[in-house]
Structure 1
């Protein structure tokens, strides 16, 4: 496995979480590649997160939000969304930005031919490829690896050179990345997504609320990420307004709400009008 920087290493944590979910008899999905992609480092990161988020641990009286449940719900929610949008599309194209160890091109039962563009830095894509090239099962989609930094100046050009057509509707996923960016960087990324998408395209992402960055219940989790060198840098209390500013009419759900529960979310779901609560959001919408 290539040496990855702090934010890129969180993709190994995500792989470890997906591996754990895949071992459950009632798992919300199956990712047969996740355990190998996580490796020893991802397993170690998984253990560190478990120390501060597992129930019945010694620690603060108010429980830390469940990272394990959230990752499972988030993965299944976006799996279902991608499959539904692709089923509606003519010549569908899916862009997974900051793709990390994502294996949807291999594991999802795509309803027909689809182009999946995995955009990430060269070291991340190489680390994933070093594992996947040993797999006997080919991807179920046409997979395009796009070497680019999401914060760099040239990634839209790199995407189009790989075969992406900005004139046709597309489906974009920004999963597990926006809270590692500053508010200015989030705006930069969403602005480029707006400029690279045709009307009718779908944009999906997950976010944390701004309040989550200072909520006492989330502090132990934030401290772990900060100790790894990848602190959460921004949150947004009104994701509908954020995405509307970039041409996307967004639907926003909290884990545990209908459509984003799957019988798994263990915590109370705070009403949106209750102030001072740390939240996570699952967002998707159509580009105007």
Structure 2
């Protein structure tokens, strides 16, 4: 069974899979994703190498790989903390090559909903089926959707999601690819689909990141791939509050977002200091 090809799956999703495969091979890995290498394929590994060439020139390669490992582990832990607290609905937006439904130890009754373009979900499902992989949660639903277009909320509910029940939402590696109006529309739709106490966790770029001279070569790589970074926010907690979520903001290297891999000093010196994690809870 061959890995999904580049015509069907976004470059960024394949790069993320390649980086997760590299992390899985480490003796001190922060998580294990046994499916990532297959999903990345030759294309994903080549693209990750292209991106790492930029970071090599800037001295950032260790921080690139560390950031992706920390980001994955941060959201893994957030999902499992919610699940262990009794939340039985997890929604992964723009899931790409994400395999959390297959690799995390979900408690009984957990339901995982993946939202992404239908062709992305189909390619991943075909590849994982070819490996004989099976979800580890009791309910796994793939919901084909363009998150910048209307209608996906209705399809999510049709797939079994219950808006009145507790839920946790993950927006990983998504928001900086959306225009600000689309980001705001997305957060508004999520707010309308969630009950008090729901969690919405995301990573965002500070607005200053998009203007930082040191990051322009990297941002050009993403533009050349057809995935430019267009959204940044310097005060994500204020943005979350507009939609009814009280949010904590943490940067890689700070307590709860380093996992022994990235120190505060590394974060201060790194280009990626301007990348932030947001963990919001829906107010009553």
Contiguous gaps of at least 5 residues in structure 1: none
Q: Following TM superposition, by how much is the alpha carbon of 1:133 offset from its aligned partner in structure 2, in angstroms?
A: 0.6
CA contact (8 A) 2:82 2:168 kept: yes
1:253 aligns with 2:255: no
Contiguous gaps of at least 5 residues in structure 2: none
Q: Following TM superposition, by how much is the alpha carbon of 1:264 offset from its aligned partner in structure 2, in angstroms?
A: 1.3
2:209 equivalent among 203, 209, 212? 212
Q: Secondary structure at the match of 1:133?
A: helix
Q: Which structure 2 residues correspond to residues 1-288 of structure 1 after superposition, within 5 A? A: 1=4, 3-4=6-7, 8-54=10-56, 57=57, 63=60, 66-89=63-86, 92-141=88-137, 142-265=139-262, 268-270=266-268, 279-288=274-283
State the aligned residue count.
Answer: 277
Q: Which runs of 4+ in 1 moved over 6 A?
A: none
More helix by share: 2
Cα distance in structure 2, aligned partners of 1:49 and 1:265: 20
TM-score (norm 2): 0.92
TM-score (norm 1): 0.91
Cα distance in structure 1, aligned partners of 2:203 and 2:272: 17
Say what the alpha-carbon RMSD is for the aligned residues.
Answer: 2.0
CA contact (8 A) 2:252 2:273 kept: no
Once the two structures are superposed, residues 101-153 of structure 1 have per-residue CA deviations (whole angstroms, 9 ceiling, x without a partner) of 11000000113320000011111001101210112242101210111111111
Once the two structures are superposed, residues 173-195 of structure 1 have per-residue CA deviations (whole angstroms, 9 ceiling, x without a partner) of 01001000111111011111111
Q: Following TM superposition, by how much is the alpha carbon of 1:269 offset from its aligned partner in structure 2, in angstroms?
A: 3.2
Cα distance in structure 1, aligned partners of 2:7 and 2:255: 37
Q: Secondary structure at the match of 1:26?
A: coil
Cα distance in structure 1, aligned partners of 2:47 and 2:272: 26
Q: Following TM superposition, by how much is the alpha carbon of 1:5 offset from its aligned partner in structure 2, in angstroms?
A: 6.8
Q: Secondary structure at the match of 2:92?
A: strand
CA contact (8 A) 1:211 1:277 kept: no
Q: Secondary structure at the match of 1:157?
A: helix
Identify if the C-alpha distance between structure 1 residues 4 and 185 changes in structure 2 by more than 3 Å, giving closer, same or farther: farther
CA contact (8 A) 1:208 1:278 kept: no
CA contact (8 A) 1:3 1:123 kept: no
Cα distance in structure 1, aligned partners of 2:60 and 2:119: 36
Comparing 260-269 with 199-208, which one deviates more in the overlay? 260-269
CA contact (8 A) 1:4 1:123 kept: no
CA contact (8 A) 2:93 2:169 kept: yes
CA contact (8 A) 1:160 1:166 kept: yes
Q: Following TM superposition, by how much is the alpha carbon of 1:3 offset from its aligned partner in structure 2, in angstroms?
A: 4.9
Cα distance in structure 2, aligned partners of 1:201 and 1:3: 35
